[in-house]
Structure 1
Amino acid sequence: MNLPTWLTLFRLLLIPFVVGLLFVRMPGFNSVAAVLFGIALATDWLDGHLARRWNQTSDFGAFLDPVADKLIVCGVLVMLTYRVPEFFVALPAAIIVGRELTVSALREWMAELGERGIVAVGSLGKYKTAVQMLAIFLMLFDLFERGTIFFVGVVLLVISSAITLWSMVLYLKQAWPRLTRGQGSIDV
């Protein structure tokens, strides 16, 4: 266990607090949830930075980091959909959660085939994550008032869901020849 891994574990521990605060429909609780989400974002950046800088990467950390990211994003998106049951929140949230499940399953399958590198995280995935995290932070921060900041977050969430779909298509396209080997390939 090293500091980057402890930071990832700390991020995991923040998830029930962020999600729990979103059940409370009183002013201020959403802001506290946004601050905790922001702390989680900071630890996500910091754990990766420190792991690379101090050469403290580990298999456990490499496994745990994306799990923590997906859990906090999916948990908060579910809660945002619960709090704002509108298509402009629910549809992008469903796209993002669906993509995360699909790409995770694809990565697992490709790893079984010994070709995990085919679906390694690329620069588009990093941009998608940055836009997605900013969108969620802004929506959380202004959830009670649902003013301009909230709707900027919604626009960014929609943009993020479009990038999310595009990145999933690219991953599937890269993996398609390996997935259809011996089954009469279909061009994508």
Structure 2
Amino acid sequence: MINLTFSQIYMKMSKCVSNRRFIVYNFKADFKKGLLPNCITFVGVLMILPIILARRAGMFGSSLFYFVVAWFCDWADGHFARKFVMTSKIGTFLDPLTDKAFTWSILIDNWHRVPKEAAVIIMITGLLATIGRIIILIANRNPAVNIDIMAGMAGKYKTNFEKSGLVALLLADICGKYIHYEWLVDLFMFISKLGIWLSIPLAIISFLSIVMKLYKIYHEPA
């Protein structure tokens, strides 16, 4: 009886080690598959700190340049992933996650200048959507059922509205420092707030799409 128990324990431990190796292997293979898009995504993330530091140093032109580079990276990672069939599960999760990290960082850094109610809604819906994506990845154990966790059209338009609003914010800084036309500064500030507010309904729709995918996993037969 004791030998049988030890044998069972050994078998379970061996199975756990085997599963762990399989997971690590899958992670490496998946990351390698989407290597180029994932590297582009990380480059975009690395732009966050230069954007903030340049703005705080009064180098608004440089801050805007870094922002445009990050926005280009956001477009390029998805473009290359689709064009060269380099889509990976890691990439589909990292892309919206890095978008949120980017947007949240800039919003928090400009907290006194952005609509706080809108910023809070953006962050809460984004956080819940990210948690939902994690649950989908964990809960979907059936390889035959492919649940797409990439951002839909609502999520993409939401991101573009948010970033357009943040670009307008940086343009307001540039106008205030170099052009000195108050009406132009006010115009860009208005565009900034409008872009951020317009992203709210799209953020809610994007979150609800994640909720529907969760419902599909838990309530529809495999």
TM category (shorter chain) comes to 0.7 to 0.9
Displacement of 1:119: 5.6
Instruction: Single out whichever of 70-79 and 144-153 deviates more from structure 2.
Output: 144-153
CA shift in 2, pair 1:78/1:178, >3 Å: same
Where does residue 19 of structure 1 map in the other structure?
52
Partner of 1:143, secondary structure, is helix
**8 A contact 1:128–1:164 mirrored in 2:** yes
For residue 137 of structure 2, the aligned residue among 91, 111, 117 is: 111
Mark the structure with the bigger radius of gyration. 2
Please give the alpha-carbon distance, in whole angstroms, between the structure 2 residues aligned to 1:91 and 1:151. 16
SS in 2 for 1:22: helix
Matched, 1:75 2:105: yes
- Aligned-pair distance for 1:11? 1.0
Choose which of 96, 121, 139 in structure 1 pairs with 2:122.
96
CA contact (8 A) 2:161 2:196 kept: yes
- Of residues 158, 166, 169, the one that matches 1:128 is 158
- The residue aligned with 2:179 is none
Identity %: 23
Q: Which amino acid aligns with 1:112?
A: I
CA distance in structure 2 between the partners assigned to 1:148 and 1:63 by the alignment: 36
Alignment of 1:136-151 (within 5 A): 136-143=166-173, 145=176, 146-151=185-190
Counterpart AA for 1:16 = L
Name the count of aligned residue pairs: 173
Corresponding residue for residue 66 of structure 1:
96
- Using the TM superposition, give the Cα deviation of residue 155 of structure 1 relative to its aligned residue in structure 2, in angstroms: 0.8
Q: What is the CA distance between 1:37 and its match in structure 2? A: 1.0
Question: CA–CA distance in 1 between the matches of 2:91 and 2:137?
Answer: 17
Find the counterpart in structure 2 of residue 10 from structure 1. Answer: 43
1:166-185 → structure 2 map (5 Å cutoff): 166-172=205-211, 175-176=214-215
Distance of 1:125 and 1:14 partners within structure 2: 21
Distance (Å, rounded) in 1 between the aligned partners of 2:55 and 2:124: 22
Aligned to 1:41: 71
Q: Does the 8 A contact of 1:119 with 1:175 survive in 2?
A: no
Inter-CA distance 175–6: structure 2 relative to 1 (3 Å threshold): closer
The separation in 1 between residues aligned to 2:150 and 2:93, in whole angstroms, is: 13
Show the counterpart of 1:185.
Answer: none
Instruction: Judge conservation of contact 2:165–2:196 (CA < 8 Å) in 1.
Output: yes
- Structure with bigger helix share is 2
What residue is the counterpart of 1:165 in the other structure?
204
SS in 1 for 2:151: coil
Q: What runs of 5+ residues in structure 2 fail to find an aligned partner?
A: 1-31, 177-184
Give me the whole-angstrom Cα distance separating, in 1, the residues matched to 2:216 and 2:93: 26
- What amino acid is aligned across from residue 74 of structure 1 in structure 2? W
Unaligned stretches of 5+ in structure 1?
Answer: 182-188
- Where relative contact order (Cα < 8 A, 6+ residues apart) is larger, the structure is 1
